[in-house]
Structure 1
Amino acid sequence: MVFSLNIEDTLNRLLQQEDTDGDKKITIEDNGPKAFEIESREGNKCIVKGTYHLSNLLQELVISKNEGNKFAEIPLKKIEEPPVIRISRMIRDYYWKGLTRSMDEVGVEKLIADTKNETLTASKLPVYVPFHDELAFNYYNTLELKLPIQVIKLPEHISPEFVKSINKKPGILSLKLQEAHGEIKGVPFVVPGGRFNEMYGWDSYFESVGLLLDGKTELAKAMADNFQYEIIHYGKILNANRSYYLTRTQPPFYSSLIREVFEITHDKEWLKSHLKTAIQEYETVWMVQGKRLTENGLNRYLAEGIGMPPETEEGHYDAILKPFAEEANLSIHDYIFKYQNNYIQNDFLDTYFLHDRTVRESGHDTSYRIEGMCADLNLVELNVLLYKYELDFAEIINNIFDNTFEANATIYTSKYWFEKASLRKSLINKFCWNSEKGLYLDYNQVTKKQSTFVAATTLTPLWCKMATQEQAKILVDNAIRLLKEKGGIAGSSEESRGNINEKRPHRQWDYPNGWAPHQMMIWKGLLNYGFDLEAQELVYRWLYMITKNAVDYNGTIPEKYDVVEGTHKVFAEYGNVGTDFEYMSQEGFGWMNASYQYGLSLLESKYVEKLNNLIEPELVF
Structure 2
Amino acid sequence: MHGRLPCPEPRPEPVLNRCALETAFRPGLAALLVGGLAACTALAPQRADAPATARVETPVETPDLAMPALFAAVQQVPLFDDQKTFADARPLRDPADIEADFLALRDAPDFQLATFVRANFDVPAQVATSQVKVGRTLEAHIDGLWPQLTRIDPAPLPYDSRLTLPHAYVVPGGRFREMYYWDSYFTMLGLVESGQRDRARDMVANFAALIDAYGHIPNGARSYYLSRSQPPYFSHMVELEARIEGDTVYRRYLPQLRREHAFWMQGASSLAPGQASRRVVRLDDGSVLNRYWDDRDTPRPEAWLHDVRTAASVPERPPTEVFRELRAGAESGWDYSSRWLGDGNTLGTIRTTAFVPVDLNSLMHHLEATIAFACRKAAQPDCVREFDERASQRAAAIEKHLWNTDGFYADYDWQRRQISTKVTAASLYPLFVGIASQQRAKLTAVTVRTQLLQPGGLLTTTLRTGQQWDASNAWAPLQWVAVEGLHRYGEDALAKHVATNFLGEVQRVFDDQHKLVEKYDATGEAHGGGGEYPLQDGFGWTNGVVRALLVRYPQSP
Q: Do the two structures share a fold, i.e. TM-score over 0.5?
A: yes
Question: Is 1:100 equivalent to 2:150 in the alignment?
Answer: yes
Opposite residue 560 of structure 1, the aligned amino acid is K
Separation of aligned partners in 2, 1:460 and 1:445? 19
CA distance, structure 2, for counterparts of residue 556 and residue 225 of structure 1: 30
1:310-342 deviations in whole A, cap 9, x for unaligned?
A: 211535532532675xxxxxxxxxxxxxxxxxx
Asked whether the equivalents of residues 521 and 528 of structure 2 are also in contact (C-alpha less than 8 Å), the reply is yes
Amino acid at match of 2:145: Y
- 2:141 aligned with 1:90: yes
Give, as a single letter, the amino acid of the residue that structure 2 aligns with 1:471.
R
Q: Report the Cα offset of residue 305 of structure 1.
A: 0.8
Structure-1 separation of matches of 2:531 and 2:317: 30
1:230 aligned residue: 210
Instruction: Show structure 1 runs of 5+ residues with no match.
Output: 1-57, 61-78, 105-138, 141-148, 152-169, 177-186, 325-345, 406-410, 501-505, 579-587, 612-621
Partner of 1:295: 282
The one-letter code matched in structure 1 to 2:250 is: L
Which of 213, 220, 225 does residue 240 from structure 1 map onto? 220
Q: Determine if contact 2:297/2:321 at 8 Å carries over to the other structure.
A: no
Q: Which of 155, 161, 169 is the matching residue for 1:171?
A: 161
1:573 to 520, 529, 532: 532
Say if 2:424 is the partner of 1:444. no
CA contact (8 A) 1:303 1:361 kept: yes
Which amino acid in 2 is paired with 1:517? P
Structure 2: distance between partners of 1:485 and 1:203: 23
Residue pair 1:286, 1:292 contacting (<8 A) in 2 also: yes
Q: Are 1:150 and 2:201 an aligned pair?
A: no
- Aligned partners of 2:188, 2:526: CA distance in 1, in Å? 25
Distance 2:393 2:528 in 1: 44
Q: Could you tell me how far apart the structure 2 residues matched to 1:476 and 1:425 are? A: 19
Indicate the residue corresponding to 2:469 in structure 1.
509
Aligned length: 407
Query: Which residue type is aligned with residue 292 of structure 1?
Result: R
Conservation of the 8 A alpha-carbon contact between 1:462 and 1:525: yes
Of residues 350, 372, 388, the one that matches 2:366 is 388
User: Residue type matched to 1:252 in 2?
Assistant: P
Deviation per CA, 1:442-489, whole angstroms, max 9, x where unpaired? 011111111222211011111011101111111111222111111110
Q: 1-side partners of 2:310 and 2:261: how far apart? A: 38
| Structure 1 letter corresponding to 2:241 | V
The correspondence for 1:422, drawn from 387, 392, 396, is 392
Aligned equivalent of 2:551, options 595, 601, 612: 601
Deviation at 1:575, TM superposition (A): 1.6
**How far apart in 1 are the matches of 2:412 and 2:231?**
17
Of 244, 250, 259, which residue of structure 2 is paired with 1:280?
259
Structure 1 residue aligned with 2:434 = 465
Residue matched to 2:10: none
Answer yes or no: is the 8 Å Cα contact 1:255–1:275 preserved in 2: no
**Which one-letter code corresponds to 2:189 in the other structure?**
V
Specify whether residues 598 and 566 from structure 1 end up closer, same or farther in structure 2 by C-alpha distance, changes over 3 A only: farther
Distance 1:191 1:273 in 2: 25
Equivalent pair of 2:410/2:421 in contact (CA under 8 Å): yes
1:569–1:383 Cα change, 3 Å: closer
Distance 1:417 1:321 in 2: 45
Task: Spell out, residue by residue over 1:204-256, the C-alpha distance to the aligned partner (whole angstroms, 9 max, x if none).
Answer: 11111111122211111111111111111112111011111111111001011
Matched residue type, 1:101: R
Partner Cα distance (2:475, 2:544) in 1: 12
Give the one of 175, 182, 194 matched to 1:195.
175
State the distance in 2 between where 1:80 and 1:438 align: 46
Q: Distance in 1 between matches of 2:365 and 2:229?
A: 18
Separation in 2, partners of 1:451, 1:225? 37
2:472–2:528 CA contact under 8 A, matched in 1: no
Q: Distance in 1 between matches of 2:482 and 2:240?
A: 18
Q: Aligned partners of 2:171 and 2:278: how far apart in 1? A: 29
Does 1:311 pair with 2:302?
Answer: yes
> Do the aligned partners of 2:251 and 2:374 also contact (CA within 8 Å) in 1?
no
Q: How far, CA to CA, are the matches of 1:446 and 1:455 in structure 2?
A: 20
Q: Is the 8 A contact 2:311 2:322 kept in 1?
A: no
**What does the per-residue CA deviation read over 1:139-164, in whole Å, with 9 as the maximum and x for residues that have no partner?**
53xxxxxxxx424xxxxxxxxxxxxx
Q: What's the counterpart of residue 209 of structure 1?
A: 189
1:592 and 1:278 mapped to 2: Cα distance? Answer: 26
Residue 150 of structure 1: SS of its match in structure 2? coil
Contact 2:181 2:220 in 1 (8 A): yes
Residue 281 of structure 1 aligns to which amino acid in structure 2?
Answer: E
- Per-residue CA deviation, residues 343-384 of structure 1 (Å, 9 max, x unaligned), is xxx972111111110000111101121131111110000000
* CA deviation after TM superposition for structure 1 residue 568, in Å: 3.1
Distance in 2 separating the partners of 1:284 and 1:430: 25
More strand by share: 1
Unmatched tracts of structure 2, length 5 or more: 1-130, 269-276, 342-349
Q: 2:510 pairs with 527, 550, 556, which one?
A: 550
Is contact 1:558–1:568 with CA below 8 Å preserved after alignment?
no
- Seen in structure 2, the aligned counterparts of structure 1 residues 419 and 242 have a Cα distance that, compared at 3 Å, is same
Residue 263 of structure 1 deviates from its aligned partner by 1.5
Partners in 2 of 1:285 and 1:529 — Cα distance? Answer: 29
Gap change, CA 1:566 and 1:422, over 3 Å in 2: farther
Which residue identity lines up with residue 165 of structure 2 in the other structure?
L
**For the structure 1 residues 102 and 549, does the alpha-carbon distance in structure 2 shift closer, same or farther, using more than 3 Å as the test?**
same
Q: Which is greater in Rg?
A: 1
What SS is found at the alignment partner of 2:182?
Answer: helix
**How far apart in 2 are the matches of 1:281 and 1:219?**
22
One-letter amino acid of the counterpart of residue 279, structure 2? R
Structure 1 residues 364 and 315: CA distance shift in structure 2, 3 A: closer
- Deviations for 1:48-80, whole angstroms, at most 9, x for unmatched residues? xxxxxxxxxx844xxxxxxxxxxxxxxxxxx55
Q: Write out aligned runs for 1:37-48 (5 A).
A: none
**Deviation of 1:430 (Å):** 1.3
1:206 maps to a residue whose letter is F
Tell me, what secondary structure is at the counterpart of 1:298? strand
1:237-386 → structure 2 map (5 Å cutoff): 237-266=217-246, 268=248, 270-289=249-268, 290-296=277-283, 297-312=288-303, 314=305, 316-318=307-309, 320-321=311-312, 348-371=318-341, 372-386=350-364
Aligned-partner Cα distance in 1 for 2:535–2:496: 27
Kindly, what percent of the aligned residue pairs are identical? Answer: 31
Alignment correspondent of 2:271 = none
CA distance, structure 2, for counterparts of residue 434 and residue 323 of structure 1: 31
SS at match of 2:158: strand
Given that residues 545 and 566 in structure 1 are in contact (C-alpha distance below 8 angstroms), is that contact kept between their aligned partners in structure 2?
no
Of residues 481, 497, 505, the one that matches 1:537 is: 497
Q: Distance in 2 between matches of 1:507 and 1:349?
A: 21
Please say if 1:479 is aligned against 2:448: yes
Q: TM-score, normalization: structure 2?
A: 0.70
The 8 Å contact of residues 467 and 530 in structure 2, kept in 1 or not, is answered as no
8 Å contact kept, 2:187–2:540: yes
Query: How far, CA to CA, are the matches of 1:450 and 1:318 in structure 2?
Result: 30
